[in-house]
Amino acid sequence: MTEPFDAPAIIAAKRDKHRLSDAQIDWVVDAYTRGVVVPEQMSALAMAILLNGMDRPEIARWTAAMIASGERMDFSSLSRPTADKHSTGGVGDKITLPLAPLVAACGVAVPQLSGRGLGHTGGTLDKLEAIPGWRAALSNEEMLAQLEDVGAVICAAGSGLAPADKKLYALRDVTGTVEAIPLIASSIMSKKIAEGTGALVLDVKVGSGAFMKDLDQARELAETMVALGTDAGVNTVALLTDMATPLGLTAGNALEVAESVEVLAGGGPQDVVDLTLALAREMLAAAGRGDVDPAEALADGRAMDAWRSMISAQGGDADAALPQARETHVVTAPEGGVLTRLDAMAVGLAAWRLGAGRSRPDEAVQAGAGVVMHAKPGDEVAAGAPLLTLHTDTPERFERALEALEGGFDLGDAPAPRTDVVLDRIG
């Protein structure tokens, strides 16, 4: 079979800062999926895209080509509108756990296809798998049935959705080409558009613990994704949210499940509650249910009921005790003062090194491992008081976790300015 294009010529075009044509993009994505364009060609192209960029029409076409590489889901048979949320990944970001049942309790179905964690950010599936019995793999039919019955499902994306993206993401991960806005935007949006959600709220993280370290980059990513979703008929908005410090008081799998249950029970850290409600309001509004107040569903226990239904529908025992790490180590405040900084990346790396995260896709994670924070920026801490408790099953990991935390927090005497979790809104 004769191919209409030649991979080196397409790579050279992007290398030399030219636009790729629709036909070139369609071919290169399809040929990569078929194995005609080989990994070393796609990684060179990814690096050229990272360094030389793509314009909006190129990104839209690239996204469409990735969607066309696989199946598309269809939720139009549901009796309820659908809304999904995607976070670009942060430390302590357990928001999906309380959010999905909360939005479901307000009458909007949440079809959340999630992933496992890699590196310093946790994965939603890893967190839920800390619940005894819970399983991430559902067939499309099971997913649709659970959406109709319970209104919320959090499960693993099947291999049929945007296989080009799956293959490309694995390649980018080992070739230093993750941090390309066109490729991040098209990766996220190809899966979300193929998933068939009617509305989508993007939580774009900004700060040390996020992929996007500064607000301008994050805004560019958010605007790109909102445009892609809107053009594809998905009602899309984005919140830019703070990831300079971890969300809530826990980073880890079972630890974050426990904190999420506290939020659903009406308690929990204020930042987690605030962000959960802000995202719920956006999802409801984007799905045409802006009249419903999610704070009521949180307060009156409906969100907790939906959580229990969602967990048990996937085999999980919502009442079972969560796994606990075998060993703990307490980090105390070396002096008294106000905690002026607690770095998200430092805490994320520590949790990862304690066993909460993985370095390779096939690695197992520890359900009980992670970091509990006893103070957040702005809190006063006495000298010698506990600041962090590290949890792991394998105490030889403490040393490298402590190294990660070196320089990860500051104690001062001036009160630290509290930052709102939500920094900006796009869409």
Residues engaged in binding a second copy (CB under 8 A)? 7-12, 15, 38-48, 50-52, 171, 173-177, 179
Name the H helices within 82-234: 96-105, 124-128, 140-149, 163-174, 181-195, 215-231
Measured from the CB atom, is 33 or 177 closer to a second copy?
A: 177
127 in catalytic set? no
Minimal distance, residue 175 CB to a second copy, in Å: 4
Identify the active-site residue in 85, 172, 289, 302: 172
Cα gap 179→220, rounded to integer Å: 13
| Residues 91 and 296: beta-carbon distance below 8 Å | no
Minimal distance, residue 199 CB to a second copy, in Å: 35
Measured from the CB atom, is 15 or 80 closer to a second copy?
A: 15
CA distances from 38 to 45, 357, 365 (A): 11, 30, 32
Identify the active-site residue in 186, 187, 190, 309: 187
Identify the active-site residue in 14, 61, 191, 205: 191
Identify the active-site residue in 14, 61, 85, 86: 86
Q: Which two tokens stand for residue 91?
A: 């430390």
Minimal distance, residue 48 CB to a second copy, in Å: 6
What one-character DSSP code corresponds to residue 261?
Answer: H
393 in catalytic set? no
Measured from the CB atom, is 181 or 234 closer to a second copy?
A: 181
Minimal distance, residue 28 CB to a second copy, in Å: 12
Return the number of other C-beta atoms located less than 10 Å from residue 31's C-beta: 19
Minimal distance, residue 240 CB to a second copy, in Å: 23
- Run of H or E residues at 206: strand 199-206
Q: Which two tokens stand for residue 175?
A: 């070739």
Query: Nearest to residue 97, comparing CAs of 322, 349, 405?
Result: 322
Sheet holding 235-242, edge to edge: 83-87, 199-206, 235-242, 422-426
167 in catalytic set? no
Radius of gyration of the chain measured on its C-alpha atoms: 22
Minimal distance, residue 211 CB to a second copy, in Å: 13
Measured from the CB atom, is 13 or 153 closer to a second copy?
A: 13
Identify the active-site residue in 165, 203, 242, 271: 165
165 in catalytic set? yes
Measured from the CB atom, is 7 or 251 closer to a second copy?
A: 7
Query: Nearest to residue 369, comparing CAs of 406, 341, 401?
Result: 401
Measured from the CB atom, is 40 or 317 closer to a second copy?
A: 40
293 in catalytic set? no
Q: β-pairing, 327-332 with 370-373?
A: unpaired
Q: DSSP letters along 272-341, please?
A: HHHHHHHHHHHHHHHTT-TTS-HHHHHHTSHHHHHHHHHHHHTT--TTSPPP--SEEEEEE-SS-EEEEE
What one-character DSSP code corresponds to residue 387?
Answer: E
Minimal distance, residue 356 CB to a second copy, in Å: 21
Q: Which two tokens stand for residue 159?
A: 């291999």
Residues assigned a catalytic role? 86, 165, 172, 187, 191
